[in-house]
Chain A
Amino acid sequence: MDDRFGDNPFFVLELEVGCTSMDVMRQADKLIGMLELGVEKAATYPTPAGDKPRTVDKVRAARARLLVPEKRFFDEIWAKARAVDGAAAQAAGPDLFGALWWR
């Protein structure tokens, strides 16, 4: 769970920050079932940093985190992020060194 945005359990489970523990359990079970059946819609989830692939392990880890109050509070803070234009694209400058005649 290093990526505060891409791996945030609220985004993985597509839940609002005010959801209950029951909502967490129900949503996790539903997503695991869909993933095991290979439902395409469940294969990715949206985050403010762009779409990410969803796996059964990720869903289980998200469920476990949201059931621990300290971890849930921490993740709630990061889940407040809004999508930012251009945030998904890592803007690296072009490499022109190979275009120099002497290199």
Chain B
Amino acid sequence: MASPTHAALAHDDAPPELRHHFPDLAKQREASSLGMWVFLVTEVLFFGGMFLAYAIYRETHRRAFEGASNLLDLKLGATNTIVLIVSSLTMALAVWASGRSRKNATVLFLVLTMLLGATFLGIKYVEYKQKFERHEVPGPHFVVPQDEETHQPLPRQSEMFFSLYFCMTGLHAIHMIIGLGLVSWLVVRARRGEFSERYNTPVDMVGLYWHFVDIIWIYLFPLLYLLGRHTL
């Protein structure tokens, strides 16, 4: 523990948000940002393994994967892509507003981001429900689906496509749910007026996370929904 004199020296006119081990808020902010990016890098490799598994199996069982991929609802997937892009815009604007001490605008943009995130999950729910009804969920109740064009049953490996589909979109959805929790926490703090031009690091960091989750979807959408459409 620092002695009172030392603390008094260090914190003479220090802002309340400044932790004692940082010389100033700019350094503290840079450390937070770097830490967040390091976390996101681990996430890149976390999702990367799944993307790689998908790429390898798609290459090995091309017909099964393309046929199963064409069974996904492109309209719902594209709508969700647009919903997420709009939510990234509102998140960026929330960071912008919080950095300019605009409390009401910050709260508004954060709430909008949450609504869009919830919309995404709602659409995802509709899609998942469809898959359960059509017995496209891997497991004992899986029924090998038919090709949309030829009405011939797809190869058995179409089940693998749906396994990877549920793993990847499910993991992404878990990230979205965590993101919604984080943004709701920001709404509470923003309403208390805790963010200002001087200090808005939490909004900035959750923003990084939110945009990262958007980037994952930017790759999931073409890989799961689009590749193979031209064969129809």
Partners in one complex: no
